[in-house]
Amino acid sequence: MATTTARPSPTAPTTGPAATRRGRPARHKAEGTAGYVFLSPWLLGLLTITAVPMLMSLYLSFTNYDVLSDWESMEWVGLDNYRTMFTEDPSFWHAVQTTLTFALVATPLKLAAALGVAVLLNRSFTGAGLFRGLFYLPSLLGGSVALAIVWVSMFNRDGAVNSFLGWFGIEGKAWVNDPDYALGTLILLAVWQFGAPMVIFLAGLKQVPVELYEAAEVDGAGPVRKFLSITLPMLSPVIFFNLVLETINGFQGFTSAFVLSNGTGGPVDSTLMYTLHLYIKGWNEYQMGYASAMAWVFLLAIGLVTAVVFRTGRFWVHYSDGED
Amino acid sequence: MTLRRLARPITLVLLTAVVLYPLVWMFGSSFKAQSEVLNNMSIFPDEWTPANYTAGWTNFDVSFGRFFVNSALVAGLTVVANCVSCLLAAYAFARLKFRLRGFWFAIMIGTLLLPGHVLIVPQFVMFKTFGWVGGDWPYAPLIVPQLLATEAFFVFLMVQFMRGVPRELDEAATIDGCTPYGVFRHVILPLSRPALVSTAIFSFIWTWNDFFRQLVYLSDLEKYTAPVALTLFIDSSGQSSWGPMFAMSVLSLAPVFLFFVAFQRMLVEGINTSGLKG
């Protein structure tokens, strides 16, 4: 930025002192105005689509607003929604538990798979690009309703998974109808989409200096030692980035749980993701005030989790440029 | 030695089989007869039949084609809206100097991490108050936010891209008498094509796959998009509807798959550069 403003000055004397005095501030002013002109759609969006709704939802969370009746019948109920949520709504706690289990199990598994495959692919050989593309494909399609449908049908009592298990004489279950296993199938679906973090890991692996590995080999390090002492620490910023991203994504899982349970969160609340509970409260039971309160708790929870991840990151993330 | 050399390709091939099986099986099963759709784990039908496709297409009072048209409409408009609005905002952030720029930029990064579900309730209430929910054209709540550059990810992606465009070009244009608008029109816009293309492709795919917002805002069968319509199959779920449901699922994945085939390298690299350089 500094160079832009400094550059015209050598030529300034030829256009006269008056032009210098007037010209430079004038251009700054024009640029300042232009900045806001270009930014105006975004600013308007920030105000109307983000800021105002956020405040509105904070307000609604203290009311019993239900969308159906008009605004006049809305009542201020103080902290009632929050109190109900924490003390009188067992489904809320089921939702919290389901979401935590999902995020805390699926995220590490997915990242481990992504890292493992990335290490396998981080070598130039014929077809490396093809494999990379194929493994990425589920990430591209996997969030869709269509794939959730296929997934659920595969784990159905009569589904392909049980046919496969039958080969080995194992009697399958109706995985998706069993409260002990239903969430597990959704976790597998999430892990299956390891391609997106894998691609990011691959890019990170390319940045690790080859000399490090060469030096380690000279010192007699085997592949495991090289992975633990070079790859992992060098890759830690990328692992951190993926961890933050995938954790936040994990907390927001909705589509697969909706499809598996036909929008109910069943069997026995076992797939009742937090967002699904919020949807049921807001759009099936028209408790918009309650849903708003849930949204705010959700926001604070995600903020807290992200802060914890960032906090712990200090202990294990190494930046090779020395900026800690 | 040979065994060690073979370990990697064998692992990769097995892994590919596991990863691709659900997709290939889904495709094969969509051509199976009703009796074998679910439990035949072979990817090949015993007998190929297009019956599921015709049944799925006409399963509801409204033809499934209508849902695809609706989906395409929403996705297409979102693409245009995102490209235009995010490019404008990105130019301001990346190239122009104005008061509070750092502050607004920090806010933009903050909204990047803001979960969409937090805002959906009040946005819904707001759009309903405007009378935009339901009605003859219920897509406004799905499009208008994109027109206002609320998809911070794409703003960020384009800012990162523009930082790679040499500043000397702007300066040269400025010396030649270009205003900031001229620089945008003659320098940044033509040079931002790669960023626009990835924004377009990712907006399309994400919107095409999006479910939550479409579920919330669309209540009239005729206005349903493909993902919302697909869930109707589950509602009526007798064993009998698995086949048609598979067939329509395959069709709904087809556009994304075609994009993947056409732009594979760009998609893979696109997510990279956008993600990492932050």
Share of chain A above pLDDT 70, in %: 90
* Res A16: pLDDT: 40
Please report whether residue B145 resides in a domain: yes
Do B206 and B266 fall into the same domain? Answer: yes
The ranges assigned to domains in chain A are 2-60, 80-316
Please report whether residue B56 resides in a domain: no
Do B262 and B127 fall into the same domain? Answer: yes
Do B89 and B202 fall into the same domain? Answer: yes
* Res A12: pLDDT: 37
Largest CA distance in chain B: 74
Do B106 and B196 fall into the same domain? Answer: yes
- Residue A79, number of CB atoms within 10 A of its CB: 12
pLDDT band per the 50, 70, 90 thresholds, residue B172:
very high
Among B85, B119, B272, whose Cβ lies nearest the Cβ of A200?
Answer: B272
The pairs formed by B123-131 with CB atoms below 8 angstroms and a separation of 24 or more are B123/A49, B123/A53, B124/A67, B124/A282, B124/A288, B124/B216, B124/B217, B125/A56, B125/A60, B125/A65, B125/A67, B125/A288, B126/A52, B126/A53, B126/A56, B127/B217, B128/A67
Smallest CA–CA distance, residue A26 to chain B, in Å, is 11
Do B215 and B88 fall into the same domain? Answer: yes
pTM equals 0.88
Q: Model confidence over A180-228: pLDDT tens digits?
A: 999 999 999 999 999 999 999 998 998 889 899 999 999 988 888 999 9
Residues of B in contact with A238 (CB under 8 A): 276
Compute the half-sphere exposure of residue A38: CA atoms within 13 Å on the CB side of its CA.
Answer: 31
What range defines the domain where residue B38 resides? 2-49
Contact present, B225 and B67 (Cβ < 8 Å) = yes
CA-CA distance, B228 to A258, in Å (whole number)? Answer: 11
Q: Copy the structure tokens of residue B137.
A: 């054209």
**Residue A58, burial from CB neighbour count under 10 angstroms (0-12, 13-18, 19+):** middle
Contact present, B33 and A156 (Cβ < 8 Å) = no
Concatenated DSSP letters for B18-85?
A: HHHHHHHHHHHHTTS-GGGTTT--SSS-SS---HHHHHHHTSSSS-HHHHHHHHHHHHHHHHHHHHHH
CA angle A102, A185, B119 (to 5 degrees): 45
Do B36 and B135 fall into the same domain? Answer: no
Q: What's the Rg (C-alpha) of chain A?
A: 27
Q: Model confidence over B117-164: pLDDT tens digits?
A: 888 998 999 999 888 998 889 999 999 999 999 999 999 989 988 988
What average pLDDT does the structure give for chain A? 86
Contact A147 B22 (CB under 8 A): yes
Do B195 and B72 fall into the same domain? Answer: yes
CATH number, domain of B163, equals 1.10.3720.10
Largest CA distance in chain A: 93
Please report whether residue B244 resides in a domain: no
> Total structural domains in chain B?
2
Contact B150 A282 (CB under 8 A): no
Q: What CATH architecture is A80-316?
A: Orthogonal Bundle (1.10)
CA-CA distance, A218 to A224, in Å (whole number)? Answer: 15
Please report whether residue B204 resides in a domain: yes
ipTM for this model: 0.89
* Res A6: pLDDT: 35
Length of chain B: 278
Please report whether residue B126 resides in a domain: yes
Please report whether residue B233 resides in a domain: no
B positions 44-83 inside 8 Å of A (CB): none
Contact B121 A146 (CB under 8 A): no
Q: Is the pLDDT of residue A230 over 70?
A: yes
Contact A50 B111 (CB under 8 A): yes
Q: Of A31-35, A122-126, B263-267, where does mean pLDDT reach its minimum?
A: B263-267
> Does residue A169 or residue A93 have the better pLDDT?
A93
